Amino acid sequence: MRVGGQDMRVRTKFSSELIALTDELAHMARLTREASERATAALLGSDLTAAYEVFALEEQVEIEHAKCEDRSVILLALEAPVARDLRQVVTAMQIADDLLAVSRALSRVADVVVRRFPNSVAPQHVLDLISEMSDAVTDLTDLAGKVIAAPNPPRDRALVPRDENLERLRGRLVELAADDGWQHGSAMAIDIALLAHHFERGADHCVRIGRLIRFFHTGIPLYAQTES
């Protein structure tokens, strides 16, 4: 009985640590969504304060990422996890990496704003397209956060679908920056191409988070998942 009770206490500790790990991931997702909103504000208003808020949020995400790593190590050390538990811990570690990658991509966006300040990062017609990309990434980070927090998300479809309009916007921005009639200098053209790249990378990581969570619940590998 004493051994059985000890096993039960270890199992209870393991379960509580899993819950705490999920809560930390959800908090990371909220911070990342806030960073995306502040990045949009920085871009649209050449807002230096908003840009520095993006940097500060990245630092917070890095702190939470380190907490998730530490907790994951503790979970793996508590006992030999069963298959589902092990899959949850490994998936959580990968999700934390993806959230950190989104946050870092948004900081690179803020870098462009700071470098261009007090001028705008692009002429208005181009800025409108960049704003659409930024809003799309904000929506994806919001959806990723909801999926992380959901106790029982749908298992028969993509949880964070790829945004085809975002891909179209990226292509349009690259075309504008590379056009022979571009009159705003090569440095701005490079910045615009980089902004499009950073937003696309952030979106890719959000989509991957959805696939990771679907993998956890279904066991379907990421490479075998479809958008349907």
CA 9 → CA 6, 21, 121, distances in Å? Answer: 5, 18, 56
Structural domain that includes position 149: 3-224
**pLDDT per residue of the chain (228 residues) written in tens, 0 to 9:** 333 444 555 556 777 778 888 899 999 999 999 999 999 999 999 999 999 999 999 999 999 999 999 888 888 776 666 767 788 888 999 999 999 999 999 999 999 999 999 999 999 999 999 999 999 999 999 999 999 988 888 888 889 999 989 989 998 998 888 888 888 889 999 999 999 999 999 999 999 999 999 988 888 778 878 775
Residue 64: partners with Cβ closer than 8 Å, 6 or more residues away:
24, 27, 28, 31, 96
Token duo for residue 152: 């029982």
Total domain count, the chain: 1
* CB-based contact 123:46 (threshold 8 Å): no
**What's the CATH number where 82 sits?**
1.20.58.220
The rounded radius of gyration (Å) of the Cα atoms in the chain is 20
The angle formed by the CA atoms of residues 211, 146 and 48, to the nearest 5 degrees, is: 100
